[in-house]
Each structure stands twice: as structure tokens, then as C-alpha cells.
Amino acid sequence: MNLQDKTVVVTGVSSGIGAETARQLRAQGARVIGVDRNEPAISVEAFVQADLSSAEAIDAMVAQLPERIDALCNIAGVPGTAEAQLVARVNYLGLRHLVQRLTARLSPGGAIVNVASILGAEWPQRLEQHKALSQAASFAEGAAWLAQHPVAQEHCYQYFKEALIVWSMTQAQPMFLQHSVRMNCVAPGPVFTPILGDFVTMLGQERVQKDAHRMKRPAYADEIAAAIVWLCGDDSRWINGVNLPVDGGLASTYL
């Protein structure tokens, strides 16, 4: 893997998967620019404090980033216990907006990695809805579409992880053809991070207990980060438009 001297932007850098991704990238020689609402606990090349829930805040953050970067890791997110509109704005609309603003700055051969979830695996059941939403070109247009097609609170986290997977798949090949930039998703199952408790609450104790026998254990953040870092590097240069499960095989137990 060759990440020496590459510049990588990592959102959600202050904790969990984001912090571990930054650590592994730095160990590979990359320059990491961290983005988060909170100051990171690890050293990075630069840090930009930002709230990713609005287009205006994202634009202000982007103005502080270098003119040329080599990879973008979209790891920041809020759990499904947050209000549904906030989940939509951070986990989907804001992520899309950031990708749109940074695509032209990515070097040829660069990479974008979006963190989805095992809970997004049912995207084929709502494919036409997600494709319709993906055609809303801007943050504002996406918000307007969602105002007309509201998402229930109890399903919002799953819904927007599904939507993220579909949007990433539909955009990956045009981006690769036009900019020589790859875009992929990774889909973790439960992970030992600060929001694991929210994840369990979101699923409900009944489902957690029902599915406990299917899972060896939650993942550690470094196990998810390793896949993200690999997708940023030259070794994965012909991997594009995929949603990579990083869940210890958990998804396969539902077949």
C-alpha cells in the first residue's frame, strides 16, 4: 500500500472509527486533515472544526482545506436516536454535498470512502425511492424531496444508510470516468465505538437478543479502519462502486 505523502481528509476524526482511521493513515505516511465538531485526541496534520449538518457550514469548512487532496474518508455521522431530520442532513445530504464540493480537488487516482452500515443491506427493497432521491442534485433539492417524502424516525438510520449506498453506486462510475476518482462504501456491523449504545437502543433489545447468536462480537474500530485505509490506497485502484461488508460475516447469516 502506498499512502506516503498523500493528503487525506477524514471526517469524524475525534473518536471511534474516524480516530483509528487517522492513526492508521498516519502510520502509512499520509498527511491527515481531520474534520469534526470536537477536537481530536490524536495528532493530525491539520484540523478543521465543523458541523456537517448544513451546506453553508460545509462550504465554510471546504474553504479551509487544501486545493489538492488524495482521498476523502466520510466517517462522521449521527446515530438513529438523533432526530430524523438531523440524521438525513449529516449522514446523507451533508456527506453528498461534501463529496460534490471536493471531487474536483481530488488527484487523479484518488479515492472516496463512505461509511455505510450493515443496516443498509435492504436497499434493493426501496431502490426506486433511493434512486429518485439520488437525482436531487443539491443539498437543498434533497431536503425538499425529503420534505415531500418524510422518513419515519424509527427507520431513519437504516433508510439513509441505504440511500447512501445507492447514491454511491450510481455516482461511482461517472466520477471514475470523468475524474479518475474511485468511490466505495464500507458497511460495518456493530462496532465498539462511543455510539454503540445508541446502535443497540436504535435496534431495540428484542432484536439484539434475537440476533446475538449470529454475531461473534462487535468489531473493534481498527478492524473497520483497516478496510477504509486499504480502499484509500493504490492497492485497491481498480475497486470502484462497491459496498464492502466489514462485519465478520454477520450479513451472510441472514441468507
What is the set of active-site residues?
157
| Angle, vertex CA 86, rays to CA 221 and CA 114, nearest 5 | 40
C-alpha cell at 176: 471514475
Distance separating alpha carbons of residues 58 and 10, to the nearest angstrom: 14
Nine-digit cell string for 142: 434533497
Q: How many other CB atoms are there within 10 angstroms of residue 244's CB atom? A: 18
Set of cell numbers at residue 221: 474500530
- Neighbouring residues of 185: CB distance < 8 A, sequence distance ≥ 6: 113, 114, 115, 116, 164, 165, 168, 242, 243, 244
The set of cell numbers assigned to 174 is: 461517472
